[in-house]
A and B are shown apart, each in its own frame.
Chain A
């Protein structure tokens, strides 16, 4: 039941992605409204799918939040991206970000749907995961990842805008489809800040949990270390902007580099020997 709902949400995200792209290419807000509407329907179904999965886990007597394996984390990653994206779209009242962020959400869902059958079934928790810290740890980490995804999309737009606008007059060409560089960079900063706070909370909740489960709040486990690397990169971005007065290109580059680190923290670490290996 829940996997079907999530499957439909995946398809709907693909459609929303297409609408956002058409809106961008045709510069027609009709398609934009359609895209937002579609994305909202997708998110509603997605949310319902997660809720049903949660409820079903209680019904079959396992009773845990659907945040316990790799499949469920991909689903939640996508959910966080879409939620944060739609909130951002509503706050800035502009849809230019849509075509660059919805693909990440869609790919995450599509990748989840490729999981083997036993991974999509609701599984019981192994002893290490039987903790009240599971929900708050995964929730904060993935909200952080979601916010960093938004910052990454903006970083990509920064360069796309330069590319389509050409080196000459920025009002010429398609550069006008996007806000000016200053606004994009301001948005990168705000998304990064939100991601940074969530990531910090994620590392703190993870440390508290590790102190109960593994007997040490920090073990230099590859996943822990990579989360610190990500944290350091974004800390550098914030200091570069707030204190050194960096603007524009440098910030966009760091937002993209930070996201590569996020992806490695999330996915790449699974290829290293890690205490977090049960996520895979």
Chain B
């Protein structure tokens, strides 16, 4: 008790135990959140911020309005609400505990004064007999029954649902556990993206918010990507067939679809986007009328002319300098190495710019004699865009949500109903009076008392 008075005198404690502060914070956080939905956030923000006048730009960057929900002042508001919630709950807990522990007092004065006539029953038996019968009925509906007796009267009491006083604490605990889960997630979790071309693989991801690159510790291979459309043109299905490899060995395979994430070693993968990239270049290489067709991706190499020369695809461009598809190849034979561009529409380019291959030898597809290169085309291939996350806070947030719902049920669908009975003698008859109290839901209490009276009459 001493400790409590000390606490309530503490100005910090009394500041945080104010529900006025709660209302203020709830509305302030709501207003801040509204601001956040009006200002483009994160990646979308950069472009918008550039258009602002310098003075406003300063305000935006100081208050971190372009990333409001992660800004220190918004987190501070959330933190204050959390402290407020904890202090308020602790402050009120003793009162609820007293209500929970308090023994019903069936002989309280005034309890049986203004009862409606149907709650006062007259009967023939002795006080002892009627009380015993009533006790039996009460035990059936309320469980434990307290009994108190004097020479003149016997009092009975029972109650149900005293747990309902704690519903509000369960709700608040739920909110706190959700916040805890969010904190755990933001400290221990990560959130990133990776694009993997069909047939390609990735072992690192780009973290969101420009936080750099992270090694996964294994590699993900996209074996296949498919997108299907309905007749109307609406997308029907995005599907990536993924393999997870460790040390060059396939450890797991799975099908990834929207709403059906995959998990490997605690890291979750989500189908997030897709796109197309220049894939294999198809090159025709001629030597003295002998032609070979080779396919390769950027960065890949192959040999020609029976292994005498090696060709590396240095770059693949879908539209180089508005002159159409082009591939830069590096050719090495012995100690002679050259690199040059091979255009798909070289004939048309030469027609428009006569002599260009002489002026710019790098545009000459026949630069490395005796080989002549021609680009047949570049095949586009799909890449799958994956969101990659790990959030150890998720089960905690889930538990918090569960508590929240349980707290709602406890608070709004249970109530503490107390039933009091007095059995005494009046005008030569045995009189049974039934009274009730509840913290909420009086209708339910009335129904319960009616049921008690019904079964009491039934066994007489």
Residue of A with least CB distance to B388: A215
Q: Which residues of A contact B4 (CB under 8 A)?
A: none
Residue of A with least CB distance to B19: A243
Q: Which residues of B contact A126 (CB under 8 A)?
A: 234-236
- A233 CB-CB contact with B under 8 Å: yes
- B50 CB-CB contact with A under 8 Å: no
Q: Are B23 and A236 in contact (CB under 8 A)?
A: yes
Q: Are A232 and B404 in contact (CB under 8 A)?
A: no
A-B contact count (CB 8 A): 104
Q: Are B23 and A244 in contact (CB under 8 A)?
A: yes
Q: Quick one: which of A130, A217, A226, A228 contacts B259, CB cutoff 8 A? A: A130
Q: Quick one: which of A127, A193, A217 contacts B236, CB cutoff 8 A? A: A127
Stretch binding the partner chain, chosen from B27-35, B93-101, B134-142, B297-305: B27-35
Q: Are B268 and A204 in contact (CB under 8 A)?
A: no
Secondary structure type dominating chain A contacts: helix
Residue of A with least CB distance to B391: A216
- A235 CB-CB contact with B under 8 Å: yes
Q: Are B235 and A197 in contact (CB under 8 A)?
A: no
Chain A positions 212 through 245: 1 when the CB is less than 8 Å from some CB of chain B, otherwise 0: 1111111010100110110011011001100110
Q: Are B23 and A228 in contact (CB under 8 A)?
A: no
Q: Are A220 and B41 in contact (CB under 8 A)?
A: yes
- A73 CB-CB contact with B under 8 Å: no
Q: Are A127 and B237 in contact (CB under 8 A)?
A: yes
Residue of A with least CB distance to B257: A127
Q: Are B238 and A127 in contact (CB under 8 A)?
A: yes
Q: Could you tell me which residues of chain B, from 286 to 333, have a CB within 8 Å of some CB in chain A? A: none
| Given A127-B235, A212-B261: A200 in contact with B408 (beta carbons within 8 A) | yes
Interface size class of A (residues with CB under 8 A): 35 or more
Residue of B with least CB distance to A234: B26
Q: Which residues of A contact B255 (CB under 8 A)?
A: none
Q: Which residues of B contact A222 (CB under 8 A)?
A: 37
- Assembled-state Cα–Cα distance A176/B418 (Å): 37
Q: Which residues of B contact A226 (CB under 8 A)?
A: 33, 37
Q: Which residues of B contact A214 (CB under 8 A)?
A: 270, 272, 387
Q: Are B260 and A212 in contact (CB under 8 A)?
A: yes
Q: Which residues of B contact A36 (CB under 8 A)?
A: none
Chain A positions 86 through 113: 1 when the CB is less than 8 Å from some CB of chain B, otherwise 0: 0000000000000000000000000000
Residue of B with least CB distance to A215: B270
Q: Which residues of B contact A236 (CB under 8 A)?
A: 22-23, 26-27, 30
Q: Could you tell me which residues of chain A, from 107 to 148, have a CB within 8 Å of some CB in chain B? A: 118, 123-124, 126-128, 130-131
- A272 CB-CB contact with B under 8 Å: yes
Q: Are A124 and B26 in contact (CB under 8 A)?
A: no
Q: Are B258 and A217 in contact (CB under 8 A)?
A: no
Q: Which residues of A contact B389 (CB under 8 A)?
A: 215-216
Q: Are A235 and B26 in contact (CB under 8 A)?
A: yes
* Residue with the highest number of chain B CB atoms closer than 10 Å, among A127, A212, A222: A127
Chain B positions 171 through 214: 1 when the CB is less than 8 Å from some CB of chain A, otherwise 0: 00000000000100000000100000000000000000000000
* 8 A-B pairs in the complex with CB atoms less than 8 angstroms apart: A127-B237, A127-B238, A127-B257, A200-B405, A217-B394, A217-B397, A226-B37, A232-B29
Residues of A within 8 A of B (CB): 118, 123-124, 126-128, 130-131, 193, 197, 200-201, 204, 207-209, 211-218, 220, 222, 225-226, 228-229, 232-233, 235-236, 239-240, 243-244, 269, 272-273
Closest 5 CB pairs of A and B: A215-B270, A127-B258, A232-B30, A236-B26, A215-B387
